[in-house]
Amino acid sequence: MISLRIAIPNKGRLKEPSLQFLIDVGIRPLASDDRALMIPTSWENTELVMIRTEDIPSIVEAGAADLGITGVDYIKEAGANVEELIRLDFGKSRIVLAVPSSWDVNDIEDLRGREIRIATKYYNITRSYLEEKGLHAKIVKISGAAEVMPLLGAADCIVDVTSTGTTLRLHGLKPIDVVMESYASVIGNERWMKGSESERVNLLLTIMKGTLSGKGKKMIFMNVEDSKLDSVIRSLPAMLAPSISKLGGTNAWEVMTVAEEKDIPEIVSKVKNNGARDIVILDIEKVIK
């Protein structure tokens, strides 16, 4: 009997990062059929629900999935009553208002007084944005690619997601305002907080957070003679303090600490100059706080 369901995107830019994140957590899918909607995993009684990214907030709100991974833009668009539990480190993007590059328009104020049509799949977000800015426009709701709509004459400009702006430029468009910033998030509903599986879900969330905390960090071990211990420790970063233990039958210590991967070259140089030797550097999967 399945007691825990996690909804993730079945396609699009968030699919692969979401799958990789769950694999890093330790939840591995046991099937790879792109047509499958429900996939068992390496965690007992846990399965993945593969659905459209934009449908995940509503699925989680309805309790059909305990947790979900989706973009906060889709949460806002759906107006779903869900809780953002963990901000993830992928899926960063912007929802922008973009106009043809040929227009003599540089910001939103240049659009005041114009009759414009805006093509977008973000109908609710766009409507709220227009109300906030005090602009009048016809919203053309679409479900496919927005960039081509001005070229087809179906709209004058668009509100759409962008990461680098390359696709906009290829279609002769330029962004003139940021409607909202977006990123991927783990979401949940009240069911898991009150249900019989709340303890299990909270454990999963703890491991997810630990996986994120462990990214970009390395564990460093080294041996240090007693006379050089203080100078080595002073040159080390630590989450709280370096861990040290006496090496049996010697006048030396084993020193262990955790550091950001980007800082490793500088740290190794410092501790080696201060007398550390036998330095070992290991990957970290998770840091549970």
pLDDT at residue 195 greater than cutoff 70: no
**Do 4-91+183-213 and 216-283 share a fold?**
no
Q: What span, in angstroms and rounded, lies between the C-alpha atoms of 58 and 52?
A: 11
46-58 burial, b if ≥16 CB within 10 A, otherwise e?
bbbbbbebbbbbb
Task: Note the pLDDT of residue 74.
Answer: 96
Token code pair at residue 17: 């990062």
Q: What span, in angstroms and rounded, lies between the C-alpha atoms of 242 and 258?
A: 8
CATH architecture of 93-182: 3-Layer(aba) Sandwich (3.40)
pLDDT at residue 288 greater than cutoff 70: yes
CATH number of the structural domain 4-91+183-213? 3.40.190.10
Task: Note the pLDDT of residue 8.
Answer: 97
Which range (32-41, 81-90, 97-106, 179-188) has the least confidence?
32-41
Task: Note the pLDDT of residue 201.
Answer: 86
Give the chain's mean pLDDT: 91
Q: Which CATH number does the domain 216-283 belong to among 1.10.20.140, 1.10.3720.10, 1.10.10.10, 3.30.70.120?
A: 3.30.70.120
What is the rounded average pLDDT of the residues 167-172? Answer: 93
- SS3 at position 272: helix
What is the rounded average pLDDT of the residues 175-188? Answer: 96
What pLDDT, in 10s, does the model give residues 274-285?
999 999 999 998
Percent of the chain's residues with pLDDT above 90: 74
pLDDT at residue 114 greater than cutoff 90: no
Q: Exposure of 274 by Cβ count < 10 A (0-12 exposed, 13-18 middle, 19+ buried)?
A: middle
What string of H, E and C letters represents the secondary structure of 117-152? EEEECCHHHHHHHHHHHCCCEEEEECCCCCCCHHHH
Domain ranges of the chain: 4-91+183-213, 93-182, 216-283
DSSP single-letter state for residue 230: H
Helices (H), 153-263: 166-170, 190-194, 198-214, 229-234
pTM, entire model: 0.85
Task: Note the pLDDT of residue 69.
Answer: 98
